[in-house]
Structures are given as C-alpha cells and as structure tokens.
Chains A and B, each alone.
Chain A
Amino acid sequence: GNSVTQMEGPVTLSEEAFLTINCTYTATGYPSLFWYVQYPGEGLQLLLKATKADDKGSNKGFEATYRKETTSFHLEKGSVQVSDSAVYFCALSGGTGGFKTIFGAGTRLFVKA
C-alpha cells in the first residue's frame, strides 16, 4: 500500500537559516503530494501541493518538487522565520490508495530568534 516517510524531528534552526525537510513516498500509479502545516492548537492547513511529476508547489517562500525518479517531495525554504515554528506533514493521495490521504509522521520545526 501507499506510505510516506519523512525525517524525524525536531529540527531546530536559527532565524534566516535554510530549511530542508525530507519526504519520500511509496505508491503505485500517480499520486498527488502535499505538505501541510500545523500550528499549536490548530488543525492542519495546506501549505503546498503538486499533482504530477516535476511539478513544483510553492507558497509563502516554501517550495517542493515532485520527483518521481527518487519518489521524493522535499520541503525547502531559503530563510526561515520564528513564525514558521510548527509541525510539518508530508502527505499523499491517490495511486492505489484511491483518494484517501495518508500522512507522514510529522516533523516539528523550532526557529530561534
């Protein structure tokens, strides 16, 4: 079945540092890939998505490219801010799993001033 693996956290960075959170997936067919962000006490919000190979999703300075050859969808941001501190989830929908969305384990990011 489908699965998503993302790097364990927590990740601690200083403000303005470069961020990478790795995500790899296992799926047959053509899944869509997503990054969601969860702030304390809130539900998950869509950060960005990509629906086919080589698509790049981007939002609020974050970006991720759908790489079918390496089955990856790594999240990057060039300069993080304290307000980016949150838990980030990589997710997958489609392929043999139908439209059901499955999530990685989440990566907590702390950004220090």
Chain B
Amino acid sequence: DTAVSQTPKYLVTQMGNDKSIKCEQNLGHDTMYWYKQDSKKFLKIMFSYNNKELIINETVPNRFSPKSPDKAHLNLHINSLELGDSAVYFCASSQGDRASPLHFGNGTRLTVT
C-alpha cells in the first residue's frame, strides 16, 4: 500500500550513459514532482506535472526529460550522465494547492562514476 514508490532505489552508472527513474503514486493526486537532493541535503525542485501537463520546469539541463504517461506516473530520463548529476532524486505528489503537503517517495540514489 505504498503511496509514492520510485524505482530503482540505487543506480550506479558511468559518465555518458542514459538512465531512467520511474515513479508511481496511488493517492489519486493530480500533481507530481521531481526534486533533487544534493550531498548537503539541499532540496531543489526540478519539474512538476499536473494531470500529465508540465507546469514547472526549473533551470535544469535539457539532458533531463520528464515524462508523464498518466497522472499516476512521472518518470525521469537523464541523457549523457555527468559526475555532477550524482544526487538523490525524489519523486513527490500532492493535491496541487498551496495548503496541501507533498508526499515523497523514498528516493533514488544516483551515483555517476
């Protein structure tokens, strides 16, 4: 009965490779997000989708491409991975209004070597 699940939990890959992270939520929320957490625990929003439509696209290299096949799923594809992409990536969902909290997955730790 996991609310927000993302896979894989760990991802170790080499520079230049392409990888994807998948996220699914069963909360019935319309809005989903990708956040990046760096080694100092700082969290930065990357993207947000509302009902399959991209509504937030922060200053992120275009090597990162989100895709939302339906409102319960939001995937993140990363091309040509770089060392600086190493971080923990969190998927989250919410009802999409200012008073609604975010529900987070357990994160994907990406290590680029």
Give per-residue flags for A43-70: 1 if the beta carbon is below 8 A from chain B beta carbons, else 0.
1111001010000000000000000000
Q: Is B66 an interface residue (CB 8 A)?
A: no
A72 to chain B, nearest CB (A): 19
The A-contacting residues of B in range 18-73, CB under 8 angstroms, are: 31, 40-43, 45, 48, 56
Question: Residue of B at shortest CB range from A34?
Answer: B101
What is the minimal beta-carbon distance from B57 to any residue of chain A, in angstroms?
Answer: 11
- Does A102 lie within 8 Å of B101, measured CB to CB? no
Q: Is B4's CB under 8 angstroms from A43's CB?
A: yes
CB contacts (< 8 Å) of A108 on chain B: these are: 41
Interface class of chain A by DSSP: strand
Min CB distance B2 to A, Å, is 11
Cβ of A101 under 8 Å from chain B:
yes
**Pairwise interchain contact A51-B106, C-beta atoms closer than 8 A:** no
CB distance from B45 to the nearest CB of A (A): 6
Is A18 close to B, CB under 8 A? no
- Taking CB atoms, residues of chain A closer than 8 Å to B90 are 43-44
Bound: A98/B45 CA distance, A: 13
Q: Are A44 and B98 in contact (CB under 8 A)?
A: no
| C-alpha spacing A93/B90, complex, angstroms | 18
B98 contacts A105, C-beta separation under 8 Å: no
Contact with B along A90-103 (1 / 0, CB 8 A): 00011100111111
Do the beta carbons of A44 and B104 come within 8 Å of each other?
Answer: yes
A110 at interface, CB cutoff 8 A:
no
A106 with B102: CB separation less than 8 A: no
Q: B97 interface residue, CB < 8 Å from A?
A: yes
The chain A residue with its CB closest to the CB of B107 is A43
Among all A-B residue pairs, the 5 with the closest Cβ atoms: A94-B98, A43-B104, A46-B101, A106-B41, A103-B43
Given contacts A44-B104, A102-B45, A103-B42, list 8 more A-B pairs with CB under 8 A.
A31-B98, A34-B101, A38-B41, A45-B104, A46-B103, A89-B43, A99-B98, A100-B45
